[in-house]
């Protein structure tokens, strides 16, 4: 892997020169960084570079992260170009993998009309995320996740045995595998983003458009997993309104399937997707405070097992 230096970025982008401007973020667990570069004499004024340097970690968590970067590279190589304006993603201008390190060069979303970030979205921004997810799920409905995670989301039961063992004994812990099987056995499956939190969306200034980033846990699954994650912690009326908006958008965009059957199945699976997420949170962050309606939803799922 060439060193992450100005000259290499210039060569990749065809610029006369490249200059490091700012670090945008560090990669989870210190496995690298995300940096904005200024370009001179190129088609675009700036690019965003993600440089992954895993180091000498070991164990299940380390292996899961290594697989996640392999998946992210496969996503941009084989899948991302299929995303239209309704589920915008950054163009990946270059990616490479050498000697354990990975380098991604992306278009700068700030420079192409998506400069706003937030961890606490407004109602409009949340609606925009819901429409993005609906368009994304419709685009990949029925696809097999070749090169991606067989089952998307970073909290997938089979990849989180440590968190499962950390759970308090009880029906949710006992029912985890059955809940996972219910979701995996859905008639309608798609590609899920797998980490669809508000912080992984970039918004236009008016809030009506969004682009999503961070595709390390993209893979197969029921679309309700992304919805449960995005709507976690929201009030019941927000969840109900959000589901209505999502399904209106999804059914208008889905092609070649019985949209009434799709909506009926996925609406019924939303509580199961939430119970699956709550299972992870109880093991990963004991003491997490859940909304009353979220707890009631999980109790209904457990009663149905």
With contact defined as beta carbons under 8 Å apart, do 64 and 29 qualify? Answer: no
Q: Is the pLDDT of residue 162 over 80?
A: yes
Which range has the worst mean pLDDT, 25-29, 88-92, 138-142?
A: 25-29
State which fold the 123-304 domain adopts: Aminoglycoside 3'-phosphotransferase; Chain: A, domain 2 (3.90.1200)
CATH class of 6-107: alpha beta
Q: What's the whole-number mean pLDDT along residues 105-118?
A: 97
Q: What's the whole-number mean pLDDT along residues 118-124?
A: 97
pTM for this entry? 0.96
Q: pLDDT-derived band of residue 6, with 50, 70 and 90 as boundaries?
A: confident
What count of other Cβ atoms lies within 10 Å of the Cβ of residue 125? 19
Q: How many residues does the chain have?
A: 305
User: Which carries the bigger pLDDT value, residue 11 or residue 29?
Assistant: 11
List phi, psi (to 5°) of 266. Answer: -70, -35
Q: Is the pLDDT of residue 56 over 80?
A: no
DSSP letter string, 133-182:
HHHHHHHTTT---TTSBSS-STT-GGG-HHHHHHSPSSHHHHTHHHHHHH
CA 168 to chain centre: 28
Distance CA 194, CA 187 (A): 19
Distance CA 125, CA 242 (A): 12
Task: Give the start-to-end residue ranges of the domains of the chain.
Answer: 6-107, 123-304
3-state secondary structure (DSSP) of residue 103: strand
């Amino acid at each position: 892997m060439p060193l992450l230096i100005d000259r290499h970025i210039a060569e990749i982008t065809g610029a006369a020169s490249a200059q490091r401007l700012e670090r945008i973020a560090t990669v989870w667990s210190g496995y690298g960084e995300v940096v904005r570069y200024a370009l001179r004499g190129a088609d675009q004024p700036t690019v965003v570079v993600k440089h992954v340097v895993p180091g000498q970690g070991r164990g299940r968590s380390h292996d899961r992260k290594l697989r996640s970067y392999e998946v992210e590279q496969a996503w941009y190589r084989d899948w991302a170009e299929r995303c239209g304006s309704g589920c915008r993603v950054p163009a990946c201008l270059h990616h490479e993998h050498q000697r354990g390190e990975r380098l991604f060069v992306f278009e700068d979303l700030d420079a192409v009309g998506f400069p706003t970030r937030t961890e606490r979205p407004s109602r409009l921004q949340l609606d925009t995320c819901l429409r993005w997810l609906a368009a994304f799920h419709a685009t990949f409905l029925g696809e097999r996740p070749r090169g991606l995670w067989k089952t998307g989301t970073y909290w997938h039961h089979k990849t989180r045995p440590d968190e499962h063992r950390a759970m308090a004994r009880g029906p949710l812990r006992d029912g985890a595998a059955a809940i996972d099987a219910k979701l995996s056995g859905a008639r309608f499956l798609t590609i899920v983003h797998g980490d669809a939190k508000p912080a992984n969306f970039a918004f236009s200034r008016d809030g009506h458009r969004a682009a999503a980033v961070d595709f390390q846990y993209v893979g197969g699954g029921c679309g309700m997993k992304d919805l449960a994650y995005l709507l976690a912690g929201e009030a019941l009326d927000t969840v109900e309104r959000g589901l209505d908006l999502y399904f209106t958008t999804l059914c208008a965009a889905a092609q070649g399937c019985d949209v009434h059957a799709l909506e009926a199945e996925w609406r019924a699976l939303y509580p199961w997707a939430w119970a699956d997420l709550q299972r992870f949170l109880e093991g990963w962050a004991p003491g997490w405070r859940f909304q009353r309606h979220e707890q009631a939803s999980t109790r209904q799922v457990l009663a149905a097992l």
